[in-house]
Structure formats: C-alpha cells, structure tokens
C-alpha cells in the first residue's frame, strides 16, 4: 500500500507531463493493486484526487485510454465510487471514447459506463445527458453480424451496459425502446444463440423491457417468439429454462405474441415439460411444472391462440389438458380447470365441451375438493362451470348432470373468491329455467346464506352477486313459495337497497323482482317493504333526471303494484307522486311516457 501511495504521487506528476511510458507503468501498478485489493485501492484512489486527473487523460488519441477506462471500470465495482466518478466529470469523456475504432478501448469504456450506471441514479442520469445509450445501440447494430469471440465479448459488455443503464427505470427503458433496441437485441439473439454469455445478457434485457407495455408492440413485430422457442428447445438446465420463462411470461400477455408463440411450437414444449415433471417431488421440477402449466393457461387467454389450440375440440392440446383434470396433481388440476374456463369463452366451444362430458369431469373434481379442499382448484372449477353455463342450450343439460348439487356443497365456504364463483354459476344456470329457479329459491339454507352474503361489505363482488341471485330466483321462478322463503329469510331489504345500486343492470333486476313480489305476495312482504322505505326510494328514482329510462319505467310499474296495500298506498299519496309522474308524460322515451300516463290515471283514480 506504501508502494500504491508512491504510484499515485508519481501518477499526478506524469499526468501533467503527459509522458506516456511512465504513465503506462503507473497505470499498470494501479491495475495490479486493484486486482489484489479492490476496495482498499479504490478508497486510496478516491482520497488522492486522481479521478479528476483521469477526466483530462481520457482522450481518444492517447494510448493509455483503454487502461484508464479499465481502472475506472474496476473502481466503479464499488458502490461508494460511482458518484465520485460522476462528480469527477468522467462520464462525458468516457462517452466520447465510445466513438473510438479500437476494440479494447470500446470494451473497457463499455465496462466503465456499465459499472458506474449499476444501481446509480446519478450515473444513469449523467450517461443519459451525455447521449451514451444511442452510441451503444448504434454499435450493437453495426457489429451485430460479426461472430468472432472478441466481438461477441464486446457485444455482451454493451448489452450489459444498456441493462445497468435502464434497469427498473421506466423512462430510460422507454427511451431505449424508442431508439429501436428491441429489434436489434432480437437479431443478436438469433445470430449469437451459441454464445451463452451473450444469450443470457439478451434474455435479461428482454425480461426488463418486456415488463413495459410499450415494448409489446415492438416485440410483436420481430421474430422473438420463434427465437425464444428455438432457444428453449435446446436448453437442458433448469436455470436456463427459467430465464427464458421469465421473458415468455410478460411477453405472452400480448395477444399477438400469444399467437406467435403457439405457432412457433411453444405449447408442445410446455406439454413435454408437464409430462416429464408430473411425478417428480424435486423442488425445481415442481416449480417448472407450475411455470409451464401457468404459461399454458396464459396462452389460452388470447381468443385466436385459444381457438387455434381448441381445433374444434379434437386438438391434441385440448385432449391433453382434459387429462390434467382427473390427475392427482393439484397444480395440474388447477391448470386444467383454468384452461377449460379459457376454452369456454364462446358458445360453440361451450356447447361442444358440454356435449362431450366435460361437466362430469369438473363436478368429479369439485367433489374431490369439498372437505378441506384446495381453494384455487375450487375457484377454477367453478369458473369453468360458470362459463359453460352461459349458452342457453347448456343450462338444462348441466342442471340434469347435477351441477347445482355439486356447487351447493360449497355453500359453507368462507373464501370470498369461491363464494363469488359459486353465486355466478348458480345465477347463470337458472337464467330462464323456471323449475330450477323455483327449486333453488325454496332452498332455505341457500336463501339464508344469500341474505348473509348480501351484507358482506368487505367483499363487494360477493355482495353484488348475492343480491343478483336473490333477484334472479324471483324473476325466473315467478313463484309465490320462493317469494315467501326470501321474505321470511329477510331478503326484501337487500332487494330494496339493490334498487339504489350504481349499476343500472342491478337496479333494474331489483325493481323487476320487487314488482313480482308486489304482484304475487304483497301481503307477506308489506311490512318489510315499508321498513325498507321502498316508496321513498322510488320517488327519488323518478325525480332524479339521471335515472335511466328503464329504471323510470320499472319504478312506475312497481308504484302501481304497491297501491294494492293500504299502508303503502297512503305512503304514495303522502309523497306527491303525481307531480313527478305527470312530468314524465312528455319523456322522450315512448315506453316511459306511456307508463307515466297509465300511472297518472291510477294515482288519480286511487287518490
């Protein structure tokens, strides 16, 4: 270290004289000292004020520039040295050196800038201001096709520099994307796929950039899907495959790229991994099975990629996914059910799957998860059943296959995601199915649970779906027994609250259900309607200019129906409904205007 102090002193003198021979000797000593003890040597360099000198020595025509850049690269490995490098004014001369034709100068300069940028806002900012990124991207473009080892090393350093420059910084990543870095990196990957270090660097860069939404379109216009799948097929090591997975997952969120990945044969690779790893209990294998099956489900979220893999229900992929559902592996059961839910996104697919026995597979799966079951599997299987129940022709078939019985076993679930899907599935199944709606609506346990969930203030989704199912049971069954069960379970107040929902569709469903109650069982519901202040709510809905036409229409129908009760009739009279209703006779919507005339007559006659 004494020797080092002498070298630093000598360096200051020779730097002024610019005698290159003795300067080289001093620089070699410094590099040696850094190799022996980087941190201590770096501290000494910082204390000596030599960094400021380097700024003046970094000139393109000097034969020492590469060594000085190398020293800066070494000291900048230490976090505490990065800001001092910026403060010493090293960035601008380093960026100037990027215009050199000398490969060693470029290599060391790329290392120096990359290390200064690593996790350093100040470093990145200075490189940004000096315009370093554009020069590096231009180099990558022009050197892209040369495959000798020295050039590949330089390309790797430049990729690393851009990564350190932009890592976790959205605005700098966006800048690189605008400079057109993505097509260049994809080209690099294609040409240099035999070079492990460069390939790895490209993958990490892709992983960073792919998180940015604006990158997806650029990626979609390259052959990234083909290159990644080609690379994936070659990999045997778990770590390497995992790196590729980390790029594939964010890219596969884009529908155009989903389709490209499917066409490039990714699905076959994923199915192979599942087959290889399904029986393994090794941690790495379990993780890879999960990643592969999750990615498979993600690819099915795109309409075109999903339809391509469905192949009219005859496709190999669809058949393989079906075989996951009865497996004993929870991850595969989950992925299988989610995949079916994704395939069930159009009527044609749903009808085909129900006709070919998918319902039994899903209800069997649910039966295996009733007691202490896997919540994610329950949720996925219910999601699939809900989607399958959307086409009208499937409802009766699914009801006779015992879907309601299978679903009702989860009424005791305390998990909101399961509750939410259970409610949605039942609501889809009873749509226009009077008999099923009546059977469910008379099920006291179900109705009581619905009323309880209508108060689930912490879970808006469950609360909304419970209200909608209560209303649907009445609307589709038109049954007095169902209405009595709902009144006895305390459901009226929730339907009245639902009439004030911010969603027009829910308001409307509530008003129609309440009108049926008023028409069929007004005596039974009268007290609950009074205490829920329905008449006041209807007055507000009719007086509010923002209410949708159908809300105004159904509110007036309901008012007429409520007049059959003496106490409710009195409430209507006390609230001067005539004023509000007569204004609606000139409403632009014909149905509203007609209903206003009828309601006005009714109010006048009864007053």
Asked if the model's pLDDT at residue 81 lies above 60, the reply is yes
* Percentage of the chain exceeding pLDDT 70: 98
The whole-number pLDDT of residue 23 equals: 84
pLDDT at 371 over 90: no
CB burial class (10 A; 0-12, 13-18, 19+) of residue 406? buried
Integer Cα distance of 180 and 144 in angstroms: 14
Per-residue pLDDT, 157: 97
Write the CB contacts of 213 (distance below 8 Å, at least 6 apart in sequence).
none
What is the DSSP secondary-structure string of 443-497? -HHHHHHHHHHTT-TT-HHHHHHHHHHHHHHHHHH--HHHHHHHHHTT-HHHHHH
User: Could you tell me which residues come within 8 angstroms of residue 465 by beta carbon, excluding any fewer than 6 positions away?
Assistant: 419, 420, 423, 424, 427, 453
- Which band of pLDDT confidence, cut at 50, 70 and 90, is reported for residue 19? low
pLDDT value at position 561?
A: 94
Give the pLDDT confidence score for residue 195 in this predicted structure: 93
Per-residue confidence (pLDDT) for residue 539, from 0 to 100: 94
pLDDT digits (tens, 9 = 90+) for 144-161: 999 999 999 999 999 999
Give the mean pLDDT of 92-109. Answer: 96
Across 14-20, average pLDDT? 65
Asked whether the predicted pLDDT for residue 239 surpasses 90, the reply is no
- Tens of pLDDT, residue by residue over 189-238, are 999 999 999 999 999 999 889 988 889 999 999 999 999 999 999 888 88
- Residue entry with tokens 């026995």: 357
Report the alpha-carbon angle 207-209-213, nearest 5: 115
pLDDT attached to residue 12: 73
What is the average per-residue pLDDT within 306-326? 91
Residue 423 has pLDDT above 80, yes or no: yes
pLDDT band at 363 (very low <50, low <70, confident <90, very high): very high
| 171: confidence class by pLDDT, cuts 50, 70, 90 | very high
**What is the pLDDT at residue 77?**
96
Residue 3 confidence (pLDDT):
75
For residue 566, the 8-state DSSP code is: H
pTM of the model as a whole: 0.82
Q: What confidence score (pLDDT) does residue 8 get?
A: 79
Q: What is the pLDDT of residue 20?
A: 66
Which are the contacts of 323, defined by CB distance < 8 A and separation ≥ 6? 336
Which one has a higher pLDDT value, 238 or 507? 507
What's the mean per-residue pLDDT of the chain? Answer: 93
pLDDT given at position 186: 95
- Confidence at residue 128, expressed as pLDDT on a 0 to 100 scale: 96
Q: Which helix (H) or strand (E) holds 139?
A: helix 132-143
**Burial class of residue 372 (count of CB atoms within 10 Å of its CB; 0-12, 13-18, 19+):** exposed
Q: At what angle do helices 416-430 and 460-477 cross, to 10 degrees?
A: 20
pLDDT at 11: 77
Q: Please tell me the distance from the alpha carbon of residue 20 to that of residue 27, in angstroms, as a whole number.
A: 10
For the chain, list the domains and their CATH numbers.
1-130 (1.25.10.10), 303-432 (1.25.10.10), 445-521 (no CATH), 533-606 (no CATH)
pLDDT of residue 437: 96
pLDDT of the residue at 62: 85
* pLDDT at res. 573: 87
The backbone torsions φ and ψ at residue 412, rounded to the nearest 5 degrees and listed phi first, read -85, 0
Instruction: Return the pLDDT at 607.
Output: 60
Instruction: Report CA Rg, the chain.
Output: 35
**Burial letters 228-240, b for 16+ CB under 10 A, else e:** bbebbeeeeeeeb
Q: What is the DSSP letter of 349?
A: H
> 140 with 182: CB under 8 angstroms?
no
């Amino acid at each position: 270290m004494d020797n080092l102090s002498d070298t630093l002193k000598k360096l200051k003198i020779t730097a002024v004289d610019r005698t290159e021979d003795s300067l080289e000797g001093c620089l070699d000593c410094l590099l040696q000292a850094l190799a022996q003890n980087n941190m201590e040597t770096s501290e000494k360099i910082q204390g000596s004020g030599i960094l400021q000198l380097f700024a003046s020595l970094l000139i393109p025509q000097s034969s020492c520039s590469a060594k000085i850049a190398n020293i800066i690269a070494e000291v900048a490995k230490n976090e505490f040295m990065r800001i001092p490098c910026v403060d010493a004014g090293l960035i601008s001369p380093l960026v100037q050196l990027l215009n050199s034709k000398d490969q060693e100068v470029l290599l060391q300069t790329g290392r120096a800038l990359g290390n200064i940028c690593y996790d350093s806002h100040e470093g990145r900012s200075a490189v940004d201001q000096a315009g370093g990124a554009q020069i590096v991207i231009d180099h990558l473009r022009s050197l892209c096709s040369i495959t000798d080892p020295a050039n590949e090393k330089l390309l790797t350093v430049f990729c690393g520099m851009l990564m350190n420059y932009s890592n976790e910084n959205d605005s700098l990543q966006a800048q690189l994307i605008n400079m057109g870095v993505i097509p260049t990196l994809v080209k690099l990957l294609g040409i240099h796929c035999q070079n492990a270090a460069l390939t790895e660097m490209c993958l990490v860069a892709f992983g960073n950039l792919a998180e940015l939404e604006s990158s997806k379109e650029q990626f979609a216009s390259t052959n990234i899907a083909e290159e990644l799948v080609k690379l994936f097929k070659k990999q045997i090591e778990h770590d390497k495959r995992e790196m590729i997975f980390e790029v594939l997952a964010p890219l596969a969120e884009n529908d155009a790229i989903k389709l490209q990945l499917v066409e490039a044969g990714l699905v076959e690779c994923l199915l192979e991994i599942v087959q290889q790893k399904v029986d393994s209990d090794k941690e790495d294998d379990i993780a890879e099975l999960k990643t592969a099956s999750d990615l498979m489900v993600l690819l099915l979220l795109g309409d075109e990629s999903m339809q391509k893999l469905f192949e009219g229900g005859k496709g190999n992929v669809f058949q393989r996914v079906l075989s996951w559902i009865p497996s004993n592996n929870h991850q595969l059961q989950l992925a299988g059910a989610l995949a079916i839910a994704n395939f069930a996104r159009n009527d044609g697919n749903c009808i085909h799957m129900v006709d070919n026995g998918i319902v039994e597979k899903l209800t069997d799966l649910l039966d295996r998860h009733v007691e202490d079951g896997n919540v994610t599997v329950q949720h996925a299987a219910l999601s699939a059943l809900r989607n399958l129940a959307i086409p009208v022709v499937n409802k009766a078939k699914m009801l006779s296959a015992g879907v309601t019985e299978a679903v009702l076993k989860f009424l005791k679930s305390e998990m909101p995601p399961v509750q939410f899907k259970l409610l949605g599935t039942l609501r889809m199944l009873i749509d226009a199915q009077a008999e099923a709606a009546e059977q469910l609506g008379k099920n006291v346990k179900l109705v009581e649970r619905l009323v309880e969930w209508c108060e689930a203030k912490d879970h808006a989704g469950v609360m909304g779906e419970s209200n909608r199912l209560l209303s649907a049971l009445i609307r589709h069954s038109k049954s007095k027994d169902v209405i009595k069960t709902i009144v006895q379970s305390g459901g009226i107040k929730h339907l009245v609250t639902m009439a004030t929902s911010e969603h027009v569709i829910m308001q409307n469903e509530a008003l129609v259900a309440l009108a049926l109650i008023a028409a069929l069982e007004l005596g039974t519901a009268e007290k609950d309607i009074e205490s829920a202040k329905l008449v006041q709510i209807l007055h507000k809905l009719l007086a509010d200019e923002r209410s949708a036409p159908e809300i105004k229409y159904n509110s007036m129908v309901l008012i007429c129906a409520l007049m059959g009760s003496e106490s409710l009739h009195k409430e209507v009279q006390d609230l001067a409904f005539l004023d509000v209703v007569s204004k609606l006779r000139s409403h632009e919507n014909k149905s509203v205007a007609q209903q206003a005339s009828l309601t006005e007559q009714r109010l006048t006659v009864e007053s």
